[in-house]
Amino acid sequence: MLSFIICFALLLGGYFVYGKVVENTFAPDDRETPAVRINDGVDYVVMPQWKLFLVQLLNIAGLGPIFGAMQGALWGPVVFLWITFGTIFAGGVHDYFSGMLSARNDGASISEVCGIYLGGVMKNVMRVFSVVLLVMVGTVFAVGPAGLIVTLLKNAGISGMFSSTEVWLWIILAYYFIATFISIDKIIGRIYPIFGICLIVMAVGVIFGIFTNPAYTIPEIWSNFTNMHPDGKPIWSFMFITVACGAISGFHSTQSPLMARCMKSEKQGHFVFYGAMVAEGVIALIWAAAGCAVYEVTGGLSTGLKEILANGQSAAIYDVCIKTMGSVGVALAMVGVIVCPITSGDTAFRSARLVLADWFKIDQNKIQKRLVLCVPLLAAGAFIGHLDYAIVWRYFSWTNQTLAMIVLWTASMYLYREKKNYWITAVPATFMSAVSMTYFVCASECLGLSTTIAYPAGIILAALFLGIFLHATKKPVKAA
């Protein structure tokens, strides 16, 4: 349990100490933000800081820091280290720069930001990459909750039209259309802060239930500093890819511009972007601790945790909530496994609309122009929603972390151009390059080669990317 407390303290300290270092490096000032300067009443709307934080947290969190962290717990308490240091030195840095660089460029979507600092080719790659990823994320976050709702209704003895997954899929997609289409402060700005609070309350309830139940003990890192995965999957780089949102996630960079368009001051960025990532890291740490403490530990973290995870996201979250909070946990679990995915899904589609709007220079002030983008996006979502869920989701983790890698290299180039300390982004960018490339070479859904080949290949490719970046820094900076 001491390991958990130390990691929790490090996360909080990281926000105040390293988060301040990151903020001072970027140096926010008093210039007019896009929300003030543009203020179109649709996507550029000034919102109070507390709402910005809670909406950002809900947008980037969803089920990511819950299910990914529980899967990460299969490797044992060593996962605490990645969640803690990954959040402080990689995830928080990534989220801060993706939001602040968007704010500095009129609230541009992340693909446009990457194009500004990495060139036109990367801009087009990121445009396609972002839209495809966002539509996939939005779709899987519709299919999952739809299936769970039907399961709950059938268990309650309710049948008929509303016991069909197909019906609920279309209901959720219809909601996505409304939330994607209307002004950001009508639904997202009003309701989502409440759900953000529920996400935090659920995490607090879980850790309180663990601390107060003598049957549960959070294992110490120093007593279990080994690979405890029941299937023997290597820590490098599978654990780093699996935890995803709990430490660093490229999906966050697609969401940060939403709040970058709603900030009244650049100085809110530390709390909104870096702070939301630290909050997500804390939530992930709690759920990883639950995965380690609630289930059988003898012979490694194998029996109970692996079995419950095999039953799916919903079953795992529901089980932990019941065991740590009893009947109160049921309601919170339903918020976690139904509402949170839906709220991440609709902002994914909203972000996809904004990426396309930036790409094709389509003004979003008029309803007709928003319809031109919303209708085909939701139509694509409806089509993908009828494909095999496993196929759609298979490549998400890798593409997610690869996107984070690209965004960190983008931030590094920005800092170089501004003659600032680019190592605070170049180091995590190199690390994530090694993680992403190693996984791509050895994962069965990618090249499927042995770790003997994948490990050196990942390191060589990461070194190559760093070399390309350092070579670029030798060139004279063009005048703005």
- Cis preceding linkage at 237, omega within 30: yes
Q: Which two tokens stand for residue 454?
A: 């994948």
Amino acid symbol at 204? V
Which residue's structure tokens are 């995830």? 91
CA distance 149 to 316: 16
CA distance 144 to 147: 5
Nearest to 243 by CA among 279, 290, 273, 285: 285
Q: Is the pLDDT of residue 127 over 60?
A: yes
Q: Is the pLDDT of residue 265 over 60?
A: yes
CA–chain centroid gap for 436, Å, is: 16
User: In the Cβ-directed half-sphere of 136, how many Cα atoms lie within 13 Å?
Assistant: 19
More confident residue, 121 or 179: 121
CA distance 342 to 62: 8
Q: Is the pLDDT of residue 305 over 90?
A: no
Provide the 3-class DSSP secondary structure of residue 39.
coil
- Based on DSSP, count helices (H) and strands (E) in the chain, helices before strands: 24, 0
Please tell me the predicted confidence (pLDDT) of residue 366.
78
pLDDT, average across residues 37-53: 93
Q: Which two tokens stand for residue 177?
A: 């259309």
pLDDT per position as a tens digit, 2-23: 999 999 999 999 999 999 999 9
Q: Is the pLDDT of residue 451 over 60?
A: yes
How far from 223 is each of 54, 77, 78, 138, 226, CA to CA, in Å?
A: 36, 9, 10, 40, 9
pLDDT per position as a tens digit, 48-88: 999 999 999 988 887 778 888 998 999 999 999 999 999 99
Considering only 15-19, 234-238, 358-362, which range has the smallest mean pLDDT? 358-362
Please tell me the predicted confidence (pLDDT) of residue 395.
67
Query: Running DSSP on this structure, what letter comes out for residue 365?
Result: S
Considering only 273-282, 377-386, 452-461, 471-480, which range has the smallest mean pLDDT? 471-480
Please tell me the predicted confidence (pLDDT) of residue 232.
86
Q: Residue 176 — very low, low, confident or very high, per pLDDT cuts 50/70/90?
A: confident
CATH number of 2-400: 1.20.1740.10
pLDDT per position as a tens digit, 187-227: 777 787 888 888 888 899 999 999 999 989 999 999 889 89
Q: Is the pLDDT of residue 350 over 90?
A: no
- 10 Å Cβ neighbour count for 313? 19
Q: Is the pLDDT of residue 480 over 50?
A: no
CA distance 373 to 230: 46
CA–chain centroid gap for 253, Å, is: 8
Q: Is the pLDDT of residue 389 over 60?
A: no
Q: Is the pLDDT of residue 344 over 80?
A: no
Give the ranges where 38-91 is alpha helix by DSSP (H).
49-61, 64-72, 79-86
Average pLDDT, the chain: 88
CB 57 within 8 A of CB 343: no
More confident residue, 313 or 17: 17
Q: Residue 479 — very low, low, confident or very high, per pLDDT cuts 50/70/90?
A: very low
Q: Is the pLDDT of residue 160 over 70?
A: yes
CA dihedral 347, 351, 356, 358 (to 10 degrees): 140
Q: Which two tokens stand for residue 27?
A: 């140096």
CA–chain centroid gap for 370, Å, is: 26
pLDDT, average across residues 350-378: 85
CB 204 within 8 A of CB 401: no
CB 394 within 8 A of CB 145: no
Please tell me the predicted confidence (pLDDT) of residue 345.
82
Angle, CA 396 vertex, CA 358 and CA 200 arms, to 5°: 85
Q: Is the pLDDT of residue 259 over 70?
A: yes
CB 291 within 8 A of CB 221: no
Q: Which two tokens stand for residue 31?
A: 């210039």
CB 95 within 8 A of CB 103: no
Please tell me the predicted confidence (pLDDT) of residue 418.
95
355-363: Cβ within 8 A, 24+ apart: 355/109, 355/110, 355/111, 355/112, 355/127, 355/130, 355/131, 355/134, 355/254, 356/131, 358/108, 358/109, 358/111, 358/112, 359/111, 359/112, 359/127
Please tell me the predicted confidence (pLDDT) of residue 445.
77
Q: Residue 300 — very low, low, confident or very high, per pLDDT cuts 50/70/90?
A: very low
Q: Is the pLDDT of residue 239 over 90?
A: yes
